[in-house]
A and B are shown apart, each in its own frame.
Chain A
Amino acid sequence: MSAVRRLFKDLNANKAMLLMVLPATVWFLIFSYLPMAGLVIAFKEYRYSRDGFLASILNSAWVGFENFKFLFSTNDAWIITRNTVLYNVVFIVLGLLLAVGMAIVLSEIVNKKLAKVYQTGMFLPHFLSWVIVGYFVFSFLSFDRGVLNQLMEALGLERTQWYADPEPWPIIIVLVNLWKSVGYSSVIYLAAITGFDKSLYEAAMIDGANKWQQIRRITIPLLIPIMTIMTLLNIGRIFYADFGLFFQVPRDSGALYSVTNVIDTYVYRGLTTTGEIGMSTAAGFYQSIIGFLLVITSNYIVRKINKDNALF
């Protein structure tokens, strides 16, 4: 049988399945793979052409690594990389400590009904959009009406223009992010703790271990594999920032860019405000490549530790 006939026979045999994957495959080609091909813009001086998408890309002149050179010659590349990575490092470390701590606290609370209520409350922020969170933050930080300024005035301090003063923002950003994410991630650890073998604790009890010792010697060591996995996966995403957090919460305030500009917001502003299409794509490319390498590396490490938990 010729190869072509064999192919047709195979295709025919898998006809139903091929039809099933068709819609999402078309979607992937258009919304994921075509943009990957569109990364060539990073090496071009992009000019919009009236004749459409392909013509725009084809008619733009090649400029080699000019866009990258320009990006890295400015201070921006350094600031956005530093902000993105540093914030993520802080989120990973504090997020892990708080989520695990909260999961242990919830698992030890005697009144299970109340523990459930706590969990439901902590999970709430995860369901709100960053726009809404931006409003919440504003109700605390607004110059003339915000609670924080009212409190400061009551204490005899000066009101602060929070949205114009970059200094406190690293702390505000971190607090808001933890507020939104800790309840969500503690669910994963809590689910793991509930699955632990209860007889381990009983044995420890009989040996006279108090609760604190049980947490330190049983719960935490048992949680370490999942903690490692979650952390490594987060490290794989260290080059990506949550756009909403850095755009909505500081209300896109220009005065705060030095501490709130991350790669994602930089790319967005390059596209919409400054019109630096080529450089913006170059920044996005830089993010995708480093992000890709980090995911591959962290997954490789996860695989070494525990094959079941690896992403691939």
Chain B
Amino acid sequence: MLAVTKKNRDFHRISPVGNAIFHAIAGLFTFACVFPFVFVIIISFTDESTLARNGYSLFPEKWSLEAYRYILLTGEQLFRSYGVTIFVTVVGTIVSMVFIALFAYAISRKSFKYRNFFSFLAFFTMLFNGGLVPTYIVVTQLLDLKDTVWALILPMAVNAFYIMIMRTFFVTSVPDAIIESGKIDGASEFRIFTTLVLPLSLPGLATIGLFSTLGYWNDWFNALLYIDDPGLVPLQSMLMRIENSMSFLLQNTSNASINAGILQSLPQDTSRMAMVVLATGPIVLAYPFFQRYFIQGLTIGAVKE
């Protein structure tokens, strides 16, 4: 009996027909998930006049690099926005990780007398919040952050949920004995944290860091609320603003040589789609490599201490 099952490992397996059906289901859904992105790439490489005639098509009659050439020549706003997004993402992620890691570590320590108070302080914000309007008033009138890059960074800097994930990580992956040994050797709390605890918590930090990076890269809401200055508009928000016309881009192009003739031949649709491709490219290219950490973070998030 055992020999038979060992020989053909069909033991756990579904029938070939069932397997084919499952492949079809999963394959179709995967296709549906990836297809729109591929489609937008194709549109961005379509010749504008072909597009005007035939509409968006999977197999355009004529391909063209015009959209990308156009962006390279006149896309100052795009590069500007790229810069804003990269700055906000890098600085924001660093600030977030420092704030979150320090707070989470402190409340993970049993020796910290006020840990329950501070845990609750963070946790309560997951249950109740003041909502959009009071937050908006605080940011614009009390902190006076309107049209500053900090309006894009600070409102997203701390997140109680990430603190909970990180605290769980510290509790489960840093043995008390290591902290004790550091104390016996006379290291200060900060030294213990930086030289002993952090290196042991790299997977957790990576998870939080990736969540933050993605959050900052994809954010458009804070820009929608707080940013009017074109020089501070991040990528996602720029895409949103040029959605219906290229006028935004044109207004903010210092290239005065654009004359009416060129204006008429602007590769409107295709270059908008090319911008979508350029804005999404880094995330799409990088994410298969980081997916593992996201999945790890997701599953950690579902488990408590």
Contacts and interface: CB of A to CB of B under 8 A. Distances in A.
A136 B33 CA distance: 11
Contact of B131 (A13, A129, A134, A281): A281
A145 B121 CA distance: 52
B155 A211 contact: no
Contacts of A312: 123
B234 to A, nearest CB: 10
Contacts of A32: 125, 129-130
A292 B141 contact: no
A135 B273 contact: yes
A211 B11 CA distance: 10
Given A14-B113, A110-B13, A281-B133, A136 B125 contact: no
B221 A27 contact: no
Interface string A118-131: 10111111011111
B169 interface: no
Contacts of A97: none
Interface string B35-60: 01101100100000001000111000
B7 interface: no
Contacts of A281: 131, 133-134
Q: Chain B: interface secondary structure? A: helix
B257 interface: no
Given A36-B130, A122-B33, A267-B131, A53 B103 contact: no
A41 B138 contact: no
Interface in B72-114: 98-100, 102-103, 105-107, 109, 111-114
B175 interface: no
Contacts of A125: 33
A103 B27 CA distance: 13
B106 A21 contact: yes
A132 B279 contact: yes
Interface string B206-223: 000000001001111100
Contacts of A34: 130, 134, 138, 142
B93 to A, nearest CB: 15
Contacts of B39: 136, 139, 147
A310 to B, nearest CB: 8
Interface stretch (B62-70, B248-256, B291-299): B291-299
B172 to A, nearest CB: 14
Given A108-B22, A296-B127, A41 B134 contact: yes
A37 interface: yes
B140 to A, nearest CB: 9
Contacts of A183: 29, 33
Contacts of B100: 24
Q: Chain A: interface secondary structure? A: helix
A53 B133 contact: no
Contact of B158 (A24, A35, A184, A191): A24
A115 interface: yes
B298 A25 contact: no
B106 A20 contact: yes
A271 interface: yes
Given A39-B130, A132-B280, A277-B133, A53 B142 contact: yes
A10 B133 CA distance: 39
Interface string A9-35: 010011011101101110110111111
A201 interface: yes
B133 A211 contact: no
Interface residues of A, number: 103
Contact of A35 (B25, B129, B163): B129
Interface in A127-178: 127-132, 134-136, 138-140, 142, 144-147, 149-150
Interface residues of B, number: 102
Contacts of A114: 23
Contact of A20 (B51, B102, B113): B102
B1 to A, nearest CB: 8
Contacts of B236: 129, 131-132
B261 interface: no
Interface in A34-93: 34-39, 41, 48, 52-53, 56
A309 B303 CA distance: 7
Interface string B153-170: 011011000010000000
A109 B26 contact: yes
A295 interface: yes
Given A17-B112, A25-B118, A110-B19, A202 B11 contact: yes
Contacts of B291: 120, 123
A285 interface: yes
Contacts of B3: none
Contact of A211 (B14, B55, B57): B14
Contact of B295 (A102, A147, A191, A248): A191
A268 interface: yes
19 contacts: A17-B106, A20-B105, A23-B103, A25-B121, A28-B122, A36-B128, A48-B141, A109-B23, A139-B40, A139-B56, A149-B55, A188-B302, A248-B220, A251-B243, A277-B133, A281-B131, A287-B131, A295-B127, A309-B304
Leading 4 A-B pairs by shortest Cβ distance? A38-B134, A35-B130, A284-B131, A16-B189
